[in-house]
Amino acid sequence: MLGFAILARDGAARAGRLTTAHGVIETPCFMPIGTAATVKAMTPEGVAATGARLILGNTYHLMLRPGAERVAVLGGLHKFMNWPHAILTDSGGFQVMSLAALRTISEDGVAFRSHIDGSKHLLTPERSVDVQRLLGADITMAFDECTPFPSERPAVEASMELSMRWAERSRRAFVERPGHGIFGIVQGGVHADLRQRSAGKLTEIGFDGYAIGGLAIGEGQATTLAMTEATVPSLPEDRPRYLMGVGKPADLVGAVKRGVDMFDCVLPTRSGRTAQAFTRAGTLNLRNARHADDPTPLDRECRCPACVGFTRAYLHHLVKAGEILAAMLLTTHNLTYYADLMRAMREAILAGNLAQFEAT
């Protein structure tokens, strides 16, 4: 089982401490995405230097390549990728949703063809949980169907109910180990009553943490936050809450304010590979010619190597020249910015002034 303690509250917001087999994570926290056992353009040491102590891997991708059994023989995902800190693995539900023409959903699970070589696979709740065990994930996610948006309410309800049946099977399949846990995933689309029903069912089953899934897939920020606000009160107070796939800075602040503890998103790493930098003064596009002669750092308050050692002019040059170092430095900067944002929110909650922080 995972340990979780709430150290302070400021309104609905919480500052907490999550204890896993591979270390302690201070919450609220942001998880960099390491889908295929790597955070793109980063070394493990570089990821840790940003302040991250929990990253996300993916069941679907890792079971196809290099294979969960192979990773297990080689010592598990932590050893395989040289990451000594905690790992959460997504169950693969979101990825199989995106396959569309390549998959068939049934009560048993999802039959699909690999996007890599066309080979046939069946991903069931039991297989998903077992793959995550073989990988050695500190936090396992229950297998679910991520309902596409938009969908009609009857389809959303049927999908949610299927996910709840899969959640029961996932929980039964999970092998208890010290410092390891399994999270259930709330579904229900943009319907508050369905999400509350889903949260109630997951609480009845009993998980080590609870995720809010099926959002940030096209419904817009206002709806995302509204569904989060409608769901959180139905979740257990003493367990961590994880809003999946949500990652614009304003989204993070809004969700922390509503009681969410954990986040993941491809945005900071993907943006780093596409010349976008998040700063305290707003988002920068390093492709823009206005940076060509700028001798200032990306962000004067940032501690990352890109800001300490290089100018906007140099980063612009790297981007225009197509140099790999551009992606490395900008990704490092973005993940540092996100880690610092989460730390600042945590400190604000501990001090009881999150509202003032949000206003600045």
Which is nearest to 167 in space by CA: 146, 192, 141? Answer: 141
The H or E element that residue 197 is part of is helix 192-205
The H or E element that residue 156 is part of is helix 153-173
The H or E element that residue 354 is part of is helix 354-359
Quick one: how far is CA 326 from the chain centroid? 24
Radius of gyration of the chain, Cα coordinates, nearest whole angstrom = 20
236: Cβ contacts below 8 Å, ≥ 6 apart: 203, 210
* Helix axes 221-231 and 192-205, enclosed angle (nearest 10): 40
Check if the beta carbon of residue 78 is closer than 8 Å to that of residue 22: yes
Pick the catalytic residue from 138, 208, 264, 340. Answer: 264
- Give whole-number Cα distances, 356 to 10, 86, 156, 301, 344, in Å: 11, 32, 38, 19, 12
**Burial class, 322, CB count within 10 angstroms (exposed 0-12 / middle 13-18 / buried 19+):** exposed
Decide: helix, strand or coil at residue 218: coil
* Cα 63 to Cα 231: distance, rounded to the nearest angstrom: 31
Quick one: how far is CA 128 from the chain centroid? 17
Decide: helix, strand or coil at residue 41: coil
Strand 209-212 vs strand 3-10: parallel, antiparallel, or unpaired? Answer: unpaired
Q: Which residue has the tokens 């010619």?
A: 289
Pick the catalytic residue from 10, 90, 130, 340. Answer: 90
32: Cβ contacts below 8 Å, ≥ 6 apart: 39, 42, 47, 50, 52, 55, 56, 264, 268, 269, 335, 338
Our answer to whether residue 90 is catalytic in this structure is yes
Check if the beta carbon of residue 272 is closer than 8 Å to that of residue 41: yes
Active-site residue set: 90, 264
